[in-house]
Structure 1
Amino acid sequence: MTLNDRGQDNELLYAHDEERKFRIEARATKLLALWAAGKLGKTGAEAETYATGLVNLDLGAGGSQDVLARIRTDFDAAGVQQSDHQIERHRTECLEEAAKQIAAS
């Protein structure tokens, strides 16, 4: 194996790892968004649309901070009683669940 081969192998491993992280983050955001949608009284297609919107927001420059801010704004507007800490804790739980789901697939 040449140095060039090792470099290509490392690049492939890095790319695979980054793709896996991206998939976990996207899945976690969707799980969090569906949880938030439920708290907001959204079900079915309305909940899915809300989740898709937050996943798309997560892809932007602000990433997960934009998602958390949007949920906070939506909860405040709807009178949903959840602290920032509770929302962030649920996001951590969603990340753990998403990692399990991705590993199982």
Structure 2
Amino acid sequence: MTTFDDRKDAFEKKHAHDEELAFKTVARRNKLMGLWVAEQIGLSGAEAEAYARDVVAADLEEAGDDDVVRKIMADLQIYKIDLSEHRVRVKLTELHDVARQQIAAS
């Protein structure tokens, strides 16, 4: 193998690793967000965990955070919890940082 091939392989491996970390971070963030929302609507234990899984699954529908925000806002409306979309998006950003730290520490 040439030096060029070695560098190319290293770059591809780093890219794959970075993509995996990004995916894990977003999935962890969505779980944390689901647990936070579950707490807001009064769920705990197994119900909260199930809700968090639903939030994670909602993110698989389309790229970006809009699908997660739509699900959360609809659920908050059902439970008559008064949280703005802005507040939900701010919490997503906060939990993204928490998730990144948790993934890096593991």
- Which TM bucket (shorter chain)? over 0.9
Distance in 2 between the 1:81 and 1:51 partners? 19
Distance in 2, matches of 1:94 and 1:82, equals 16
Say whether residues 1:42 and 2:68 are aligned partners.
no
SS in 2 for 1:61: coil
Find the aligned partners of 2:89 and 2:68 in 1 and give their Cα distance. Answer: 11
Deviation sequence 1:46-65 (CA, Å, 0-9, x none): 01001111111112224421
Q: Which runs of 5+ in 2 are unaligned?
A: none
Establish whether residue 86 from structure 1 lines up as the match of residue 81 from structure 2.
no
- What code does the residue aligned with 1:92 have? T
Equivalence for 2:58: 57
What RMSD in Å do the two structures reach over aligned CA positions? Answer: 1.1
Q: Do the aligned partners of 1:37 and 1:47 also contact (CA within 8 Å) in 2?
A: yes
Using the alignment, how far apart are the partners of 2:73 and 2:61 within structure 1?
Answer: 18
Q: Classify 1:63/1:49 alpha carbon distance in 2 versus 1 (closer, same or farther; 3 Å).
A: farther
Where 1:42 maps in the other structure, the secondary structure is: coil
Q: Take 2:52 and 2:72, find their aligned partners in 1: how far apart are those partners?
A: 11
CA contact (8 A) 1:40 1:78 kept: yes
Give the paired residue count.
105
Calculate percent identity across the aligned residue pairs.
41
Give the aligned residue type for 1:48: E
Letter in structure 2 aligned against 1:96: D
TM-score (norm 2): 0.94
Secondary structure at the residue paired with 1:28? helix
